[in-house]
Structure 1
Amino acid sequence: MSSVLITGASRGIGRAIAVELAGRGHRVVATARNPEDLADLPVAVKLRLDVTDQASVDAAVAAAGRIDALVSNAGTTVRAPLESVPLGEVESLFQLNTFGALRVAQAVLPAMRERGDGRLVFVSSVQGRVVLPIIAPYGASKWALEAIAEGLALETGHFGVKVSIVQPGAVSSGGAERAKSFFADDDPYLPLLRQVPALRGESVTQEEVAAAVADTLENPAPPLRVPVGAPAANALEARKKASDEEPFLPVPLDW
């Protein structure tokens, strides 16, 4: 049994991961901005943690006790064309999805490095390797997250820390439905917005993502990148084979 800290565990994928890992016998430290949202989770420890606040991160990590593994899951998304997306919203995406993930990793890594053992699992997305129109601000934050995660793998592997990036495609967790949207009534990019569901493709469940995260944590030699579900694996494989001379899309646009 290992002790696993999960960020963003109040709902969606993070909650499913907490349930899955607790069911497999791990000591789960579930965290969220609002710890009251964790009240019904069957986990060992429930803590307040805002990944965008250094004091909150430090307090949660200190209260958690030993942390063998971090599942960095906290994140959000928006729907907006790059021409008009409010830059403040893009900054907020990076603060949560990217800088927040690094902030928590920085907090747990010293103890892992000193022990010579630890796991970092970052919940990314197919959009960490494939750009989709209208969701590109989110994709940019995930591309940056994957660069950070791969850099951590290179830097910390010498100290016994294993790093993995879990890459689901569309997930039926409600996150897309909760996303902020920034479009005028006569926005010229509305035809692209209507195509987002087709671009995202077939969805997997949050439980499937949770199982992939748990399997990765329990794998003695986990891969760096872990696609979740056939649609994600197919899209990522097609991206690898595609030319870099023009933008790639997993399905054609009706544009």
Structure 2
Amino acid sequence: MKKKVALITGVSSGIGRATAELLARKGYQVFGGVRTPEKAHAINGVTLVQIDVRDEASIKAGVESVLQQAGRIDVLINNAGYSIVGAVEETSPEEAQALFDTNLFGVLRMSRAVLPAMRAQGSGRIVNLSSVLGFLPAPFMGLYAATKHAVEGLSESLDHEVRNFGIRVILIQPSFTRTGLDTNAAPTAERIPAYVDQFQRTVAAVTATIKAAPEPENVAGRILQAIEAPYRMRHPGDRKAALLAKLRRFMPAGPVDKSLRKEFALS
């Protein structure tokens, strides 16, 4: 039996790297997308491919390389992304556009690149990394949350469009995870004094949460389960994410709002 072929973007570190390592150990033929392969650390059992999700030509060349080597792509995992921290008022349109270019349009470009091959083979899974911030607000990470809300809408719509071709779309929704994405997010260039005190309190609360957060390997395990289990669209990345999803769905808006303000140390 031939190995299933998985292509994962953003495998240099964090969830992407942990997922690549796990799938390789589980017998998948894994290709890992990185922007600069010559600078990336090798991953046992994983073939690194140059892919910059912001660049159409890079994506086209990378996907063609995978298809030439493996003949098919069974699973695409759209993991590449980054975050920015700052109040919405402090976030410039240029910063917001750059964030969307990676976190949303990167998903769009990659999906468009693999769908012809998946349609031709009559099967496939597209796994998009969302977040609990895809269904919850995120003070001082509003634009990041906006990209993940957009990924949720794009994914659900795409799933309806491609289902008849044997292709399904999966959303993974982690809460805060101990990765570079959560700990090394870039600040907005502008700082408005009126927000400084609250910003510092919120960052301190989030930093404390991250220290007790799951490792990326936990999320990688959820991704593997989502690929191999009977199909379901949304998969919380950890127990906290599952709890938050239930609270958002079943609790009245008032208590949820109050709980979130406490979580983010909002006055």
Q: TM-score, normalised by structure 2?
A: 0.89
1:27 counterpart residue number: 29
1:77 aligns with 2:83: yes
Alignment match, 2:185: 179
Contact 1:199–1:250 (8 Å) recurs in 2: no
**Unaligned stretches of 5+ in structure 2?**
none
Given that 1:132 and 1:199 are in contact with CA atoms closer than 8 Å, whether structure 2 keeps it comes out as no
Shift of the 44–229 alpha-carbon distance from structure 1 to 2, 3 Å rule, reads closer
Of residues 216, 221, 238, the one that matches 1:211 is 221
The answer to whether the 8 A contact 2:248-2:256 is kept is no
Residue 242 of structure 2: aligned partner: 233
CA distance in 2, matches of 1:245, 1:148: 28
Match of 1:6 in 2: 8
TM-aligned CA deviation for residue 193 of structure 1 = 4.0
Classify 1:73/1:10 alpha carbon distance in 2 versus 1 (closer, same or farther; 3 Å): same
The match for 1:36 among 24, 35, 38 is: 38
Q: CA RMSD in A?
A: 2.0
Of the three residues 103, 106, 125, the one matched with 1:100 is 106
- The whole-number CA distance in structure 1 between the counterparts of 2:123 and 2:130 is 23
The count of corresponding residues between Structure 1 and Structure 2 is: 254
Q: Distance in 1 between matches of 2:237 and 2:202?
A: 22
Taking structure 1 as the reference length, the TM-score comes to: 0.93
What is the letter of the counterpart of residue 214 of structure 1? L
**Which aligned runs of 4 or more in structure 1 are off by greater than 6 angstroms?**
none
Structure 1 residue 249: Cα displacement: 5.9
**Amino acid paired to 1:174:** G
CA change 1:92–1:239 in 2 (3 A) is same
Partner in structure 2 of residue 48 of structure 1: 50
Are residues 191 and 19 of structure 1, via their aligned partners in 2, closer, same or farther at CA, if it must alter by over 3 Å?
same
Cα deviation, residue 252, structure 1: 3.0
Q: CA deviation at 1:87?
A: 1.5
Comparing both structures, which one devotes a greater share of its residues to helix? Answer: 2
Stretch of structure 1 that moved more, 122-131 or 185-194: 185-194
SS for the counterpart of 1:122 is: strand
**Which structure 1 residue ranges, 5 or more long, are not aligned?**
none
Distance in 1 (CA, whole Å) between partners of 2:258 and 2:114 is: 37
Q: How far, CA to CA, are the matches of 2:5 and 2:112 in structure 1?
A: 17
Partners of 1:37 and 1:187 in 2: how far apart?
41
1:141 matches 2:150: no
Verify the 8 A CA contact 1:48 1:60 in the aligned structure 2: yes
Q: What are the superposed Cα offsets for residues 35-70 of structure 1, whole Å, 9 maximum, x if unpaired?
A: 124442113421100001000000000000221110
- Deviations, residues 223-246 of structure 1 (Å, cap 9, x unaligned): 100002111111111111244589
Deviation at 1:113, TM superposition (A): 1.2
Question: Any idea what SS the aligned residue of 1:4 has?
Answer: strand
What is the DSSP-based 3-state SS (H/G/I as helix, E as strand, rest coil) of the residue aligned with 2:76?
strand
Select 1:60's aligned residue among 59, 62, 66.
62
Instruction: State whether structure 2 residue 197 is matched by structure 1 residue 190.
Output: yes
Q: Please tell me whether the aligned partners of residues 130 and 249 of structure 1 are also in contact (alpha carbons under 8 angstroms).
A: no
- Deviation sequence 1:136-191 (CA, Å, 0-9, x none): 11000010011111111111111110211000000001222211113638342431
Contact 1:52 1:100 in 2 (8 A): yes
- Taking the aligned partners of 2:84 and 2:55, their CA distance within structure 1 comes to 21
